[in-house]
Amino acid sequence: MIKSVLNGFGVDVKSLHNNVFSWSIKSAIKEQKLGERCGELREIIPDISSQYTNEFSKEDYENYYELKMRGMHAFQVNACIDAVNYVFNKLNKPVTVADIGDSSGHHLRYIKHIISEKKLKKGISVNLDPIAIEKINSGGGDGVLCRAEELNTINISPDLFMSFEMLEHLTDPVRFLHDIAETGSADHFLISVPYQKSSHFGGSHLRLNENDLPEKMTPEDVHIYEFSTDDWLLLAKFSGWKPIFTKVYWQYPRNNVGRIMQPLLKKIDFEGFFVMFLERDLSLSKRYTGW
């Protein structure tokens, strides 16, 4: 209804959306001191429009989505650096990292440029989608068509698993995390998911009227679970992991008038993203006999 009213007054709704949300992201990046990292990532990979399978229009990408992805990537890369440093200090050897569900290879390219070879040995992209693996390998990355929990069967033994905005798309994240905790080579797992204050089943796609749902919904489109931070941590603990650190990236400034963006973001996007860096701990999981 609001969109119809604005259109009636000759307002370009898409341009208004891009301008307002770009302002929110810019303010958030500045407040969270991520501007320098965003600039560094732009130098490493100038064009990240291939991050997702779904394509953006050139206008939307340049006016909003590029900035949105840069802010999120800067936050995630900072968490990657902290995680690699932690594992390096624990093992006292260069770390092999596997990015599970990676569809672009961008995060591994970032950290290969930023982290020294003394600390980072190798980065591997793991995906069950052959198109994603082909894209990563053609771009100079190291993509493996495989399940994460089966990497050790093909002589790849990562020291650190990481995964970005993937867990919420899985039909059974408990089983996924438990299988990796039981059989995976890495004792540590860095995960990011959309931030939610309260948990619910199904994201925006599943909440559409049935007549408005697309004929086919891909895993990239559909969020099965959108949990609160507390529930994600409880799920991880039950599955065989304990937290070492957690962080939140906000897509709006929290210390000035930009706080007014919070309810709008909560309704049509996400307030931010939540990172949890986990260490294998099967003590609780072993008490459950239903595996």
pLDDT of residue 12: 45
Amino acid at 160: L
216: which residues sit within 8 A by CB, 6+ positions away?
A: none
Pairwise CA distance, residues 190 & 81, whole Å = 11
Q: What is the pLDDT of residue 3?
A: 43
For residue 225, what is the enclosing H or E element? Answer: strand 225-226
Specify the pLDDT at position 5: 32
Q: What is the pLDDT of residue 122?
A: 94
Q: Would you state the pLDDT for residue 24?
A: 94
Contacts for 54 with CB less than 8 Å, ≥ 6 apart: 220, 221
| pLDDT recorded at residue 205 | 77
Regions of the chain with pLDDT less than 70: 1-14, 51-56
> pLDDT at position 55, please?
60
pLDDT at position 52 is 61
Q: How far apart are CA 53 and CA 155, in angstroms?
A: 29
Domain 12-47+55-287 architecture: 3-Layer(aba) Sandwich (3.40)
The neighbouring-strand residues paired with 166 are none
Question: Coil, strand or helix: which one is 181?
Answer: helix
C-alpha to C-alpha distance for 76 and 270, rounded to whole angstroms = 16
pTM: predicted TM-score of the whole model, two decimal places: 0.90
Backbone angles phi, psi at 136, to 5 degrees: -65, -45
Structure tokens at 156: 């790849």
Given this model, what pLDDT does residue 282 score?
97
Question: Mind giving me the DSSP string for 118-180?
Answer: TTEEEEEEEES-HHHHHHHHHTT--EEES-GGGGGGGT---SEEEEES-GGG-S-HHHHHHHH
- Using CA of residue 162, residue 115, residue 247, residue 271, what is the dihedral sign? negative
Structure confidence at residue 14 (pLDDT):
66
- Per-residue confidence (pLDDT) for residue 234, from 0 to 100: 98
Structural domain boundaries of the chain? 12-47+55-287
pLDDT digits (tens, 9 = 90+) for 15-72: 777 889 999 999 999 999 999 999 999 999 999 987 665 566 777 888 889 999 999 9
CA 142 to CA 98: how far, in whole Å? 10
